[in-house]
Amino acid sequence: MSAEATNPVSAADAAVTDPTVRRRGRARIDLRRIGRAALLGATAGPAPRDRLPDAISHVAEAHRAHHPDADLSVLRRAYVLAESSHRGQFRKSGEPYITHPLAVTLILAELGAETTTLTASLLHDTVEDTDVTLDQVRREFGDEVAYLVDGVTKVEKIDYGAAAEPETFRKMLVATGNDVRVMSIKLADRLHNMRTLGVMRPEKQARIAKVTRDVLIPLAERLGVQALKTELEDLVFAILHPEEYETTRALIAGNPQAGDALGAVAEQVSAVLREAGVGAEVLVRPRHFVSVHRVRLKRGELRGCDFGRLLVLVYEDADCYAVLGELHTCFTPVISEFKDFIAAPKFNLYQSLHTAIAAPDGAVAEVLIRTHRMHKVAEAGVVALGNPHVGQDPAEQPDAADRQGATAQPAAVTAAPSADATAPRADDGERVDPTRPGWLSRLLDWQQAAPDPDTFWSSLRADLAEDDEITVFRADGGTLKLPAGASCVDAAYAQHGEAAHGCLGARVNGRLAPLGTVLGDGDTVQPLLAQDTVSGPSPEWLDHARTPAARIAITGWLRAHPESAAPPAETGPRPPVSVTADRRTGAELHADLEGEPAAVRPAGCCTPVPPDEITGFRVRGGSVTAHRARCTAVEAMRRLGREPVAVRWGDTAQGRVTLVAESFGRPGLLADLTEAIATAGAAVVSATVEPPSEQRVRHTYTLHLPDAAGLPALMRAMRDVPGVYDVHRARRGTSEPRRA
C-alpha cells in the first residue's frame, strides 16, 4: 500500500489535539475535521446515482464553502471508482483503505482546491494499488486528472530497488513543473500519513519523518502552503524530538491563560482601529508547537504574549498600511520587528506586514497585518490559486501527450518537457505564472544533470535546505534568483551554464571581486569568462558553490579532467617566480649640464620611454634620473627644493619599460602573455610572477622595445589576453594613472 498509515490517532496526534490547545482557538484553517462518516459511508454500499454517498458529503460541504457553483457529480463518480477498487483493502490500523483518499481529499477541500484536484486526490492511489489503469482514469475523467494521478504514483520498487524513493520524488517534481497541483496532492497525502503513523515501527516512523523534514516540509514552505507546513512540522517534531516536544507541550498546557494576555491586547487594538474608522478583524493566532519551541530557545522564559500573535485582517492593501500607522501611533512599536512583505513579497507568494507593539502594561505582542486574500494565499499557497492552466492560450497548454510523457517515467530516464515549456516567461527568464515559481524551474534544470539517484537525492535535500532567496541583477539588465549565501560562482553557472567553466572572475557592483564573493540582495554581478575553451573550474570553487547546479557542473568537469583536480606538489606558500634575460641597452637619454656630462637613467617609479615628456633631477653620485613629467615624484622633488635638470631623448627610438599585468589565474596564462609580448616585437628583460591571491595573479615584466612608440599597442595586446583585466606601467609610491 502506498499510504504509510496505521493508527488514526497517534501519540503525536493526541498531543496536538489536547484540550488545552483547543481552548486557545485557532484562526488558521482547521484541517482536523474528519468524522466517522468516512468510515461508515465507505462500508454502507453504493449511494443512489442522484445523490452523493454519505462518506463524501463532508468533502462536498467543504468544497462548496470555497466553490459554491462546483459540479459535484464528478466527485461522486471518482468516489465510486475509488471505493470499489479499494474494496477489501485495509490500512494497518484496520480501517477500510478508502478512508485515506477521503481524508486527503478533505484536507485539500478545506484549503480551497478546485474540483479537478479533489477528483485526482480521491483516485491518487488507484493506479498504484489497484487494477485500475491510467488509461481508464483518462477515459473517465480526462487528461488533467490522469496527469495528476500519474504524477503522484510511485515508480516500481522492483525496477529501481533502493533508488525507488529518490526517483519517485524526481518524477513528482518533473510533473509538478507542468502542474503544481501534483505536489499539492502529495503534501496532503503525506500529512494524513503522518497523522496516522502511530503503530509503525519506531525506526520506520523516524525514516518517514526525516524525509518529511528534509523534503516535504521545505516544499510546502516554498509552495506557500503554511497550513500543511506547520502541522507537518509539529508531527515531525513529536517523532524526531520527543523530549523537546513533551517539554513544549507541558509549557503550553501549563499556561492556559496565555490567550488572555493576547486577548486583552487584541481588544485594545480593535478599539484603536474602530476609533480610527478602519474596518478590520483582529484575531488571536496561537503559535504551533515548533514555533513555541523556537521562541523559547530565542527568548528564554516566555510571557503570555509569546504563545501567539495577533492577526489583523482587512479588505484593501491600503488598509494594511493604515492599520500599521495607527498601531505605531497609539502603541510603542518595536522597530527591529518590522518587516514589509507586501511591498516585497517572499518567493513563496507570502504577503503580510509584520510588526510588534508594546502595550501599556509592558507586554510585547507581535502583529501580522494582511488582507483576507493575502491570508488565504498565506495559508493555502498555490492550492488557493486553482488550475494553473486556466487563462492560458490553448496553444500554450500542455496536451495529453506532453502530460503523459512528463510523468510516464522518472526524469532520469525520459526527456520530459521542461517546466518552462508551458509557462510564459518574463524577459529576465523568471516565471510570470506564480504557480510555477522560478526556484522550481532551476531545480528541474539541475536535476537533469544529476542522473545518479544518490547525487540527485543529496542535492535535492541541500537545495531545499536553503530557506531564503535573493535577487541579483545581471549586467545586461536581467535578474537572477539565488539562495541566500550564494557566491559569484553560483551566479556564473546560473547565467551561463557550462560556459561558466571558463569563468575568470567577476565584477560585483562594478568592482572586480573574487569568485568566492558572497552576493547580497540587489547586487549587480557580471561574471568574466575566458575566450578559450580550455579553461576549467578549480576544485576550490566547490568551497564557494551553494547551488546544486553549480556543484554538479563543477564536480562533473573535475571528474572528466582529473589532472586539474590534483593538488599542487608544494605545501607551503609559493615564492615569486623571476626570469631574467639579456640586459639590452634602453633608449638614449641626455642631460643639458655645464661641465662634465653626467650619466642619465630612467626612473624606476614611472619607467619613461620615448616620446614621453620627461624631467630630470640630480641624485647621489652625480647621475641624473629622468621622470615622466606627470610622475608624482617630480612634485615631491620640487617641494624639497631640488632643481630640475633639462633632459632629452637621444636619436634612438628604442626603450626599456616595466609593465604590470593584473589577471585572474588560469592555466597557460604566462605562456599567452609572453606570446603577446613577442608578437608585438618586444623582448623580455626580466619577469616576476607573484603567488596567486584570491585567484588573482600579478605579472611584472621589464621589456626592451625596439620602438617605444609601439608601447600603447603592446599594452592593448596584453589586455586582450583572456584573464587579464588591467595592464599598467610599474609604479612605486606614486598615484600615476593606471593606463597609458
Residue 675 neighbours by CB under 8 Å, 6+ apart: none
Residue 214 phi, psi (nearest 5): -85, -25
Query: Distance between alpha carbon 13 and the CA centroid of its chain, in Å?
Result: 33
d(CA 48, CA 388): 34
- Angle at 402 (CA atoms; ends 396, 404), nearest 5 degrees: 145
Instruction: Give CA–CA dist 45/55, Å, rounded.
Output: 10
| Side-by-side strand order, sheet with 511-513 | 479-483, 469-474, 524-529, 503-508, 511-513
With beta carbons less than 8 A apart as the criterion, state whether 63 and 72 touch: yes
Q: Is 143 a catalytic residue?
A: no
Backbone angles phi, psi at 277, to 5 degrees: 75, 25
Please, how many CA atoms are within 13 Å of residue 42, restricted to the half-sphere of its CB? 24
Please name which of 12, 410, 416 lies closest in space to residue 177, comparing C-alpha atoms.
Answer: 416
Question: By the 8 A CB rule, do 449 and 552 touch?
Answer: yes
Please provide residue 158's backbone torsions phi and psi, each rounded to the nearest 5 degrees: -65, -25
Length of the chain: 740
Helix, strand, or coil here: 22?
helix
Closest CA to 117 of 78, 171, 154, 84: 78
| Rounded CA separation 121/185 (Å) | 6
- Catalytic site residue from 54, 129, 214, 662: 129
Would you call 269 exposed, middle or buried from its count of C-beta atoms within 10 A (0-12, 13-18, 19+)? buried
User: How far from 611 is each of 81, 297, 614, 711, 739, CA to CA, in Å?
Assistant: 94, 72, 9, 10, 16
> Measuring CA to CA, which residue among 60, 53, 59 is closest to residue 83?
53
Task: Clarify whether 135 is annotated catalytic.
Answer: no
- Whether the CB-CB separation of 103 and 192 falls below 8 Å is answered with yes
- Residue type at position 647: V
Strand 644-645 relative to strand 577-580: parallel, antiparallel, unpaired?
unpaired
Q: How far is CA 337 from the centre of its chain?
A: 24
* Number of other residues whose CB lies within 10 A of the CB of residue 469: 18
| Cα 594 from Cα 380, distance rounded (Å) | 94
Q: Which of 128, 165, 214, 433 is catalytic?
A: 128
- Distance, in Å, from the CA atom of 12 to the CA atom of 78, rounded to the nearest integer, reads 32
Give the cell for residue 398. 500542455
Eight-class DSSP state of 629: T
Rounded to an integer, what distance in angstroms lies between the CA atom of residue 408 and that of residue 134? 10
Residues assigned a catalytic role: 128-129
